[in-house]
C-alpha cells in the first residue's frame, strides 16, 4: 500500500465524553484499530524517533535523551563503524514483526521490509546491498526474493486481534473487551454516578491522528482527549504541540527497583570514566571506549514492548504501560489471535544480526531465513526462497554490521550528558566548563563499572530525561563517594 493510500485510510470512532470536563471516558474500536495501536509495541526506539522527526520536522517532540542520541548517531562519521550497513541498521532499525505490520489497515512505519542479496556465484547471502562479500565477489549482487514478496498482501483480515472482536479504548489507552462489565469498570474508575453528564461524539482518525496517538502514548496519560482538544482548538501552535510531548519531569526518587532478577543478561561490565561536577553530581562528559557507545546505539534497535519488559512495572512512558498490560490481561488475552501473537507483542525479538556482542540486556534475535532455508534460481536475475530447494549449508551468511558489533574499535569516544557521541575534544570540554561557569576545582573523575543495574537506570533516564547520564548514574556516583 502506497504512502498516499495510507494517508487516505480513516477510522470512525464513537467517543463518549464527559460534558463538563471535556475529557474522553472511552471510545469503541474494532479489531483493525486495536491492531494499529498494538503495533506501537513492536516499533524499535530508533524508528519512533525517525518517524516523529519525519512527520513533525522542526516541531518533533523531544523524547528524553533518545532524540539527541539519534541525532548524534546521524552526525557521527561513518568511519567509526565496521561497515556502512552497520550505521544504516542503527538509523533505520527493522521491526521483527514487520511482515505482520505490513498487513495493518493503516501503517505508520515506512521502514522497508528485510531483503536479502546474494553474490553472482551464490556463495554469500547478506541483508544489505553494499556489504562486501566474504568470497570477494562483490561486483555483481543479485536480489533474493522471499515467498512473502510474491504474495498479495491481505487487505481485510485482522493482524493481532481476533477479526470479529470489538473493544473499549480508555483515554489512557487501556484496551478492554466491549462488554457491560468493561463499561461499568470505566464508569466506576472515572467516578461517574450520573450518566446524563456524558455525551457521544464521533472522532475521525486518520494518518495524522495515529501519529498524534503514538506521540501521546509516550508522554501523556490522556492521549485521546489531547487529540480531540487539539482538533477543536483554533489557537494551537507548533510550539504548543511540541510541549505536549516534551520529556516528562525526571525525579531520581522515582527510579524503580531494578529488574536485575528478571533480566539476567550478560554478567560483563563496561568501564566508563565520567567527568563529574562534585557539588551537584552532574555528569558533564563520559570518556569511554567503543563498547559503551555500541551499547548506547543498540538501544535504538530495541522494540518498545521489550523496553517495557526490561523496566518492569515502572510506568515511565505515558500510556504505553497500559497498552502493554492490555495484551496480557486475562480478560483481553482471549481476543488475541494466538499464544505466539501474545509472545510476539509482549516479548518481541530483534531482527537477525542486530544483537551486538556488547549488549548487556537479555535480548534474543530472530533466526535469519538464510540460515535455515535453501534458495533456487528464479526468473531473470533474482533468487526465490523455497523450502524444497537445494541446501544453503555451503553458503556464507554475512553479518552486515561487521565484527559482531556496530562500532569499530579500539576507539575512544566522548559522550555528553544527553548522549551525544563524538570524538574526544578538549575544546568541547573547555567550552562547556566556560558556558556553565564551572571552575576546574569543582570537576573530578569517576571510574564506573557499568553492568545490568546501571544500564537499566540509564535506559529509563534516556527515555525520560535530557540528562541521561546524570540521572542514570547519580545513585552510583553518590554510593562511590560515600565509600
Q: How many CB atoms lie within 10 A of CB 473?
A: 25
Q: Are 354 and 365 in contact (CB under 8 A)?
A: yes
346 has which bridge partners? none
3-state secondary structure of 376: strand
**The pLDDT value given to residue 390:** 37
C-alpha–C-alpha distance, residues 173 and 229, integer Å: 17
pLDDT tens per residue across all 483 residues of the chain? 555 566 688 999 999 999 888 899 999 999 999 999 999 999 999 999 999 999 999 888 899 999 999 999 999 999 999 988 899 999 999 999 998 999 999 999 998 877 777 777 666 777 776 666 766 655 456 666 554 443 445 457 899 999 888 999 999 999 999 999 999 999 998 888 889 999 999 989 999 999 999 999 998 899 999 988 876 554 444 444 444 344 444 444 444 444 444 555 557 899 999 999 999 999 999 999 999 999 999 999 999 999 999 998 766 788 999 999 998 885 667 899 998 999 999 999 999 899 999 999 999 988 776 544 444 444 334 444 443 343 445 567 788 888 899 999 999 999 999 999 999 988 888 998 999 999 999 999 999 999 999 999 999 999 999 999 999 999 888 777 666
Cell 530495541 found at: 302
Q: What is the pLDDT of residue 285?
A: 94
Block residue for cell numbers 464508569? 187
pLDDT at 9: 87
> Which residues are registered as beta bridge partners of 175?
169
Could you give the CA distance from residue 413 to residue 293 in angstroms, rounded to a whole number?
8
What's the confidence (pLDDT) of residue 258? 45
Angle at which helices 320-328 and 207-219 cross, to 10°: 100
Please give the pLDDT value at position 137.
Answer: 58
- Give CA separation, 283 vs 206, 232, 444, 470, 472, in Å: 43, 43, 10, 5, 10
Q: d(Cα 412, Cα 393) in Å, to the nearest integer?
A: 39
Q: Report residue 299 as a C-alpha cell.
A: 538501544
pLDDT of 230 reads 74
pLDDT in tens, 320-337: 999 999 988 856 678 999
**Phi, psi of 242, deg, nearest 5:** -70, -40
Q: Which residues contact 208 (CB under 8 A, 6 or more apart)?
A: none
Q: What is the Cα–Cα distance from 235 to 189, expressed in whole angstroms?
A: 32
* Predicted local distance difference test score (pLDDT) of residue 395: 63
Amino acid at each position: 500500500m502506497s504512502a498516499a493510500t495510507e494517508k487516505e485510510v480513516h477510522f470512525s470512532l464513537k467517543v463518549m465524553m464527559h460534558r463538563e470536563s471535556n475529557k474522553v471516558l472511552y471510545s469503541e474500536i474494532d479489531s483493525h484499530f486495536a491492531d494499529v495501536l498494538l503495533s506501537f509495541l513492536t516499533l524499535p526506539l530508533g524508528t519512533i524517533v525517525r518517524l516523529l522527526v519525519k512527520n513533525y520536522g522542526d516541531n518533533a517532540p523531544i523524547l528524553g535523551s533518545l532524540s539527541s542520541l539519534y541525532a548524534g548517531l546521524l552526525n557521527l562519521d561513518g568511519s567509526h563503524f565496521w561497515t556502512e550497513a552497520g550505521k544504516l541498521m542503527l538509523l533505520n532499525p527493522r521491526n521483527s514483526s514487520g511482515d505482520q505490520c505490513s498487513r495493518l489497515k493503516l501503517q505508520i512505519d515506512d521502514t522497508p521490509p528485510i531483503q536479502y542479496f546474494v553474490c553472482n556465484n551464490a556463495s554469500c547471502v547478506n541483508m544489505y546491498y553494499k556489504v562486501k562479500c566474504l568470497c570477494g565477489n562483490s561486483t555483481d549482487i543479485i536480489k533474493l526474493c522471499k515467498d512473502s514478496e510474491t504474495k498479495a498482501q491481505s487487505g481485510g483480515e485482522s493482524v493481532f486481534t481476533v477479526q470479529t472482536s470489538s473493544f473499549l479504548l480508555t483515554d489512557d489507552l487501556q484496551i478492554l473487551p466491549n462488554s457491560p462489565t468493561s463499561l461499568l469498570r470505566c464508569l466506576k474508575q472515572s467516578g461517574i454516578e450520573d450518566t446524563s453528564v456524558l455525551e457521544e461524539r464521533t472522532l475521525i482518525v486518520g494518518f495524522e491522528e495515529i501519529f498524534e496517538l503514538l506521540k501521546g502514548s509516550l508522554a501523556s496519560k490522556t492521549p485521546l482527549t489531547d487529540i480531540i482538544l487539539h482538533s477543536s482548538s483554533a489557537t494551537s501552535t507548533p510550539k504548543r504541540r511540541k510541549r505536549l510531548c516534551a520529556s516528562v519531569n525526571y525525579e531520581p526518587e522515582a527510579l524503580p527497583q531494578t529488574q536485575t532478577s528478571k533480566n539476567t543478561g550478560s554478567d560483563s561490565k563496561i568501564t566508563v570514566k565520567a567527568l563529574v561536577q562534585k557539588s551537584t553530581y552532574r555528569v558533564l562528559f563520559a570518556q569511554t571506549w567503543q563498547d559503551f557507545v555500541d551499547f548506547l546505539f543498540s538501544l535504538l534497535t530495541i522494540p518498545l514492548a521489550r523496553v517495557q519488559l526490561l523496566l518492569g512495572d515502572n510506568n515511565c512512558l505515558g500510556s504505553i504501560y497500559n497498552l502493554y498490560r492490555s495484551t496480557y490481561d486475562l480478560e483481553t488475552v482471549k481476543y488475541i489471535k494466538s499464544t505466539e501473537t501474545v509472545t510476539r507483542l509482549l516479548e518481541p525479538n530483534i531482527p537477525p544480526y542486530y544483537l551486538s556482542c556488547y549488549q548487556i540486556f537479555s535480548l534474543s534475535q530472530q533466526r535469519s531465513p538464510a540460515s535455515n532455508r535453501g534458495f533456487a534460481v528464479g526468473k531473470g536475475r533474482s533468487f526465490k526462497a523455497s523450502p524444497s530447494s537445494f541446501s544453503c549449508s555451503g553458503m556464507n551468511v554475512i553479518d552486515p554490521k561487521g565484527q559482531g558489533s556496530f562500532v569499530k574499535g579500539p576507539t575512544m569516544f566522548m559522550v555528553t550528558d544527553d548522549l551525544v557521541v563524538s570524538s574526544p575534544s578538549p575544546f568541547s570540554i573547555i567550552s562547556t566548563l566556560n558556558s556553565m561557569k564551572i571552575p576546574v576545582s569543582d570537576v573530578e573523575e569517576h571510574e564506573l563499572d557499568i553492568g545490568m543495574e546501571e544500564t537499566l537506570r540509564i535506559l529509563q533516564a534516556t527515555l525520560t530525561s535530557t540528562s541521561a547520564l546524570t540521572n542514570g548514574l547519580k545513585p552510583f556516583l553518590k554510593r562511590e563517594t560515600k565509600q
